[in-house]
Amino acid sequence: MDLNLKNKVFIVTGGSKGIGEGITRAIHAEGGIVVIATRSEGAITEDILKELASTGPTCLAVYGDLQNIENCRSAVDRTVAEYGRIDGIVNNAGVNDGVGLEDGPEAFRKSIALNLFHYYDLVHFALPWLKKSKGAIVNVSSKVALTGQGGTSGYAAAKGAQLALTREWAAELLPFSIRVNAVLPAEVMTPLYRRWLDNTFADPDAKEREITAKIPLENRMTTKDEMAAMVAFLLSDRSSHTTGQFMSVDGGYLHLDRSLT
């Protein structure tokens, strides 16, 4: 299916690693142009840009910590200066920093800032351009927003707020035909997830088997490419009447009866 993304321009935060990298590659494979907004300046991002340029449209990286409001503004300004348009935003950057109830108010506030504020800031600055293109927004949230996890108050609160903003923006932007949806990863194998397993457990392979045994469909983790395919679809006009939705790409982890595992 042609998603009609050719030559359209999308900002993807955290677009050079993990799920974000998968999203970048999925958009590019459809002929779209990606602006990677990231603080990961270095070989990883530059190598991805070179690889993409060899197989399709040239993409761009804008470096800076998105917790700084001016870096969000700069990402939008650089995109418009280079390409003259913005067709979509993928809010993806963030990290489960494990800030729980015992860590205190200051740590909680920092965790919220790390995972939430730049979602709003980037869309705010991009809004005039999204109105012109009748663009789309996809917020990458987490199943933790709906299930809880324990020991991660900041991340859970931020992810829940992302879902609230998804519905709020979908309502606010109806007059401009801007669609807003969210995807909720559950257990997705990324380099960060791999490091967590390897650095936390004496037998990481056993822990991985324990986790995947609880995933109903095929008892395996979701891949970043499977997450990315959903995001690319939601950005495209093939999902032209879909807005305000929370899409779980998780092999039934969130919604199916645990007895199935």
Q: What is the pLDDT of residues 129-178, one digit of tens each?
A: 999 999 999 999 999 999 999 999 999 999 999 999 999 999 999 999 99
Instruction: Give the global pTM.
Output: 0.96
Q: How far is CA 130 from CA 6, 136, 149, 231, in A?
A: 17, 7, 35, 17
pLDDT of the residue at 196? 84
d(CA 87, CA 47): 25
Residue 228 has pLDDT above 90, yes or no: yes
d(CA 249, CA 226): 7
pLDDT of the residue at 130? 98
The superfamily in CATH containing domain 9-186+225-248 is NAD(P)-binding Rossmann-like Domain (3.40.50.720)
d(CA 67, CA 63): 12
d(CA 111, CA 217): 32
* Residue 171: how many other CB atoms lie within 10 Å: 11
d(CA 108, CA 71): 23
- 80-91 pLDDT tens trace: 999 999 999 999
pLDDT of the residue at 153? 98
For residue 56 the two structure tokens come to 């399709």
**Domain residue ranges in the chain:** 9-186+225-248, 187-221
Residue 41 has pLDDT above 90, yes or no: no
Which amino acids are annotated catalytic? 155
Residue 27 has pLDDT above 90, yes or no: yes
Are β-strands 33-38 and 88-91 bridged in parallel, bridged antiparallel, or unpaired?
unpaired
